[in-house]
């Protein structure tokens, strides 16, 4: 399981056990979303990698979006 939390136009990716895996950000130069690991030593399970890839595909295709954060 991977949970996704919006933080200032980014999505924090957190494992089911609460470990921060990294962030999904939009690469402005390509208009594509990319996963940036929080720590290079973090090894993603196959399920985590698949869920992150599916989320990125949804964001790139417009089927999903990153909700705006309300700072008020």
Is 68 part of any domain?
A: no
At residue 47, the pLDDT reads: 94
Alpha helix segments (H runs only) across 1-72: 46-61
Domains in the chain: how many in total? 1
pLDDT digit string (tens) for 11-61? 899 998 888 899 999 887 888 999 999 888 888 999 999 999 999 999 999
38 Cβ contact partners less than 8 Å away, ≥ 6 residues apart: 20, 21, 22, 23
pTM for the predicted model, two decimal places: 0.79
**Domain that includes residue 10, residue range:** 2-61
Is 42 part of any domain?
A: yes
Distance CA 38, CA 36 (A): 6
């Amino acid at each position: 399981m991977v949970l996704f939390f919006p933080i200032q136009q980014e999505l924090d990716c957190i494992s089911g056990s609460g470990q921060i895996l990294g962030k999904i950000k939009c690469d402005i130069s390509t208009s594509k979303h990319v996963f940036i690991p929080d720590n290079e030593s973090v090894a993603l399970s196959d399920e985590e990698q698949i869920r992150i890839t599916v989320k990125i595909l949804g964001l790139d295709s417009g089927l999903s979006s990153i909700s705006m954060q309300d700072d008020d």
